[in-house]
Amino acid sequence: MTDGVSDPKFETDAGLKNPALWQALWQELKTPLADPAPDSALLDWLDFWSRGNHDDRTIALLIPAAKESA
């Protein structure tokens, strides 16, 4: 993710090492990822307002596909 996402979500390098902040981010991302159109929902999510943080916003999510039952 670019600093346009990480700065408002984690604020400091210490924040990037904080598991609770990562868990909060994943909790926040559950809603757009569960949307029928997750690509559009993630674009909407990236448009959040954070004073002083209007950099570019890019995020890449690598999510393993669920295994099919045999």
Q: Cα–Cα distance between 57 and 9 in angstroms, integer?
A: 12
Angle at 44 between CA 25 and CA 19, to 5 degrees: 5
Write down the pLDDT at residue 55. Answer: 72
For residue 36, give the DSSP letter.
Answer: S
pTM: 0.77
* Run means of pLDDT, 10 residues per run, the chain, 70 residues: 89 95 95 94 90 81 78
Q: How far apart are CA 61 and CA 40, in angstroms?
A: 14
pLDDT of residue 44: 94
